[in-house]
């Protein structure tokens, strides 16, 4: 069973443990929840919910919703869906970033995660979704291409893909 859930104040230890396992992030994906104490986790969730509402945004940031991917009720990864692009995100970052916890990689969950995030993007009215990844990240490139991503540009080792919904 596959379920994509937006971050919620009801999120608990299982999400926290996944964030810790994922670590600081890699290949351009940033996980700011990897090194917090569990006592700080509720504030972390509230901050992400506020960001999804466009509240308290830092300059050059846009609203984004954090989602957790559950497979058979077990959290295997998380993604970020930016509600629109600014100039910085058009150069690098795009609409969607995602990661799968290391213990669950190689099982096709990245492809599932992106497919689910694309459904959420479509529900926000986004018609064309931009994703970026480094050229050497073959796994991410494959996931994007399996989800109908079209490589628009490959410059200085950075690939820009677009997916038309």
> For the domain that residue 102 is a member of, what is the CATH number?
3.40.630.30
Q: In this structure, are strands 96-100 and 64-71 parallel, antiparallel, or unpaired?
A: unpaired
- pTM, to two decimals: 0.94
Q: Which of 77, 61, 155 is nearest to 109 (CA)?
A: 77
Mean pLDDT of 41-54: 97
Q: What is the Cα–Cα distance from 72 to 78, expressed in whole angstroms?
A: 15
Host H or E run for residue 4: strand 2-6
Q: In this structure, are strands 2-6 and 64-71 parallel, antiparallel, or unpaired?
A: antiparallel
Mean pLDDT of 115-136: 97
pLDDT at 28 (0 to 100): 74
The 10s digit of each residue's pLDDT in 153-163 is 998 899 999 99
pLDDT exceeds cutoff 90 at 24: no
The 10s digit of each residue's pLDDT in 74-96 is 999 999 999 999 999 998 899 99
Instruction: Give the chain's domain count.
Output: 1
Show the domain range for 32. Answer: 2-164
């Amino acid at each position: 069973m596959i379920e994509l859930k937006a971050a919620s104040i009801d999120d608990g230890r299982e999400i926290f443990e996944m964030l810790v396992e994922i670590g600081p992030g890699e290949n351009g994906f940033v996980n700011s929840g990897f090194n917090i104490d569990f006592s700080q986790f509720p504030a972390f969730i509230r901050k992400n919910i506020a960001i999804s509402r466009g509240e308290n945004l830092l300059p050059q940031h846009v609203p984004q919703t954090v989602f957790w991917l559950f497979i058979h009720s077990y959290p295997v990864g998380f993604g970020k869906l930016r509600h629109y692009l600014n100039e910085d995100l058009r150069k690098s970052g795009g609409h969607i970033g995602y990661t799968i916890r290391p213990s669950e990689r190689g099982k096709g969950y990245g492809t599932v995660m992106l497919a689910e995030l694309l459904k959420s993007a479509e529900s926000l009215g986004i018609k064309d979704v931009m994703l970026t990844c480094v050229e050497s990240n073959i796994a991410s490139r494959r996931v994007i291409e399996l989800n109908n991503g079209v490589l628009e540009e490959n410059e200085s080792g950075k690939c820009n893909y677009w997916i038309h919904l």
